[in-house]
Amino acid sequence: MSSISGKTTLDWGAFAAELAPVALISEPVLVKKRSRDFFWYSPILNQKLRKCFGDLVAQPKTPEELRHVLATSYRHDAPITLRGGGTGNYGQSVPMDGGLIIETTGMNRILEIGHGFVRAEAGALMADINAALKETGQELAMFPSTQDIATIGGFVAGGSAGIGSVANGALRDPGNLISLTAMSVEEAPVERQFDGPDALHVHHAWGLNGVITDVTIRTVPTRNWHGCMATFDSYKGAYAAGCALAVAEDIACKLVSTVDARITAYFPRLSGHIRPDHHLLVSLVPAEDVPAFFALVEGMGGHVDLAMDDARRQELNLPHVFDFSYNHTTLQVLKADRSATYQQVGCPIPPDPEKVDALRPLLGDDVWMHHEFARLGGEVVTFDLPIIWFSTPERLAEINAIYETNGFPVYDAHTWRVEGGGLKNADYIHLAWKKRMDPKGLLNSPKSAAWDTVKHLSPEDIEARAKT
Ligand SMILES: Cc1cc2nc3c(=O)[nH]c(=O)nc-3n(C[C@H](O)[C@H](O)[C@H](O)COP(=O)(O)OP(=O)(O)OC[C@H]3O[C@@H](n4cnc5c(N)ncnc54)[C@H](O)[C@@H]3O)c2cc1C
């Protein structure tokens, strides 16, 4: 078997034989499919990554099989890319050097459910975990809107926040990510446990510094959630209601999103259910707090269009309300028109409807706002995931500059390097752990711009750079 990627000289047929009895995929079409994620949201990333492919896919079902795969890869210097559900947005699970893709979805056991926590293997789907938790009266403290295909390992390695974050904070907030275990890529791979704050050494490192085998994560009591949608005459009105909702003491919501009226025109499933040409507020509210939700929305000049429990939602044949939040909002538009893209933008803290309103005319008609509300370190924050009608890279840079000069930091969604987006700078703690857990740098190293500058150093010397 020759190299599909054209980037390695390994004899992939012989390598595959050595991996037995681990399940493998070598059919080029299927390997290419598993070399992609949702990077096509970005025309810039699409250009850069669409021709990056792996050579072979391994699907270990147990930590022992994973250990065998990693030891074999180490022996042959095979580049490795880790993949859960492949729902990342920046080509996080795209093999930059070709090589082996390890798909974790076979390692999917839920290992333990206790009061306030669940421990699951890295490949467990988040929706399956939530379903198991529901039996115990609990749910994940937060989950991404991709929960049906996203894995818990992929969320911890590549995600940051989600539905639940407006109540419970981001993944990195203390108490949310309780513990994780990761395996090294060495001659004899070892498993290390990272507890409490130490779990951040591996969190959001994009699978570059160890292979997560299991995760222990916070759970909260589940509620009878009502999917609520309200409409407003102005975007400022919807955003102001979102701000009030996020801090309302009598409404324990787990989702608050606001969406520009022009974007809602791309939500055909909601046609006839929400007022057209109005700005939208999306929320998940416990049944007992729904009357207070009505009072808040109406008191702020809005109109509640939908407030439905799950049975009613199914009766109406509507998707979950979170299908109109986070990056699903973007997806709804992309389903109709692939010339749309998006950006990730922070907002002044505390959230200020006046500042958001003042920014809108500066951005132009090719930028349509959509905000998510979350808690970060206990404080309510918002971030904008606008729809941008892409024309040229120069115009995108201009839009970024308008945001930044007005005090809205851009966390670029159009970069394929780990340092380019949310992190902004090199994370030398992550890189020190990469040196410990992946001394040969086999785990998709090109994803880190800084790795080449530190790979010759000891873990301690790399870590020292974090202090300078
Ligand atoms: C429509 C849409 C909506 C989204 N909404 C959200 C959201 O609400 N919140 C959010 O945070 N993100 C969101 N995302 C991004 C993404 O869906 C989530 O981060 C998701 O949890 C990733 O899980 P996954 O299993 O698909 O990971 P993958 O995409 O397969 O992998 C993500 C990263 O983790 C690494 N990785 C995977 N498994 C392991 C492992 N076992 N050990 C170490 N590294 C590993 C991969 O190499 C890759 O770098 C969204 C994306 C889309 C397309």
Q: Which of 146, 215, 328 gets mutated to test ligand 1 (max ligand atoms within 8 A of its CB)?
A: 146
Calculate the alpha carbon distances from 43 to 15, 40, 275, 415 in Å.
35, 6, 32, 11
Residues 6+ apart with CB under 8 A from 232: 238, 241, 278, 279, 280, 281, 300, 301, 302, 303
Plot region of 226 (φ>0 → left; ψ -120 to 50 → alpha; else → beta): beta
Can you name the CATH fold of 225-405? Answer: Vanillyl-alcohol Oxidase; Chain A, domain 3 (3.40.462)
Residues with CB under 6 A from ligand 1: 37-38, 81-89, 92-93, 104, 122, 144-146, 150-151, 153-155, 157-162, 206-207, 211-212, 326-328, 331
Separation of 301 CA from ligand 1 center, angstroms?
A: 37
Using most ligand atoms within 8 A of CB, pick from 34, 83, 255, 445 the residue to mutate for ligand 1: 83
| Residue 174: predicted pLDDT | 97
Quick: pLDDT tens for 159-204: 999 999 999 999 999 999 999 999 999 999 999 999 999 999 999 9
Angstrom distances, CA of residue 365 to CA of 185, 389, 413: 49, 9, 20
CB 57 within 8 A of CB 30: yes
Nearest-10 crossing angle of helices 235-247, 353-363: 150
Kindly list the domain boundaries of the chain, sorted by start residue: 225-405
pLDDT for the residue 424: 66
Using the mean position of ligand 1's atoms as its centre, give its distance from the Cα of residue 87 in Å.
5
**pLDDT tens for residues 298-345?**
999 999 999 999 999 999 999 999 999 999 999 999 999 999 999 999
Rounded to the nearest angstrom, the distance between the alpha carbon of 17 and the centre of ligand 1 is 30
Instruction: Provide the terminal-to-terminal Cα distance of the chain, rounded to the nearest Å.
Output: 47
Per-residue model confidence (pLDDT) at position 39:
96
DSSP 8-state code for residue 273? T
Which ligand 1 atom is the nearest neighbour of the CA of 161? 11
Ranges of the chain with pLDDT below 70: 422-424
- The pTM (predicted TM-score) of the whole model is 0.96
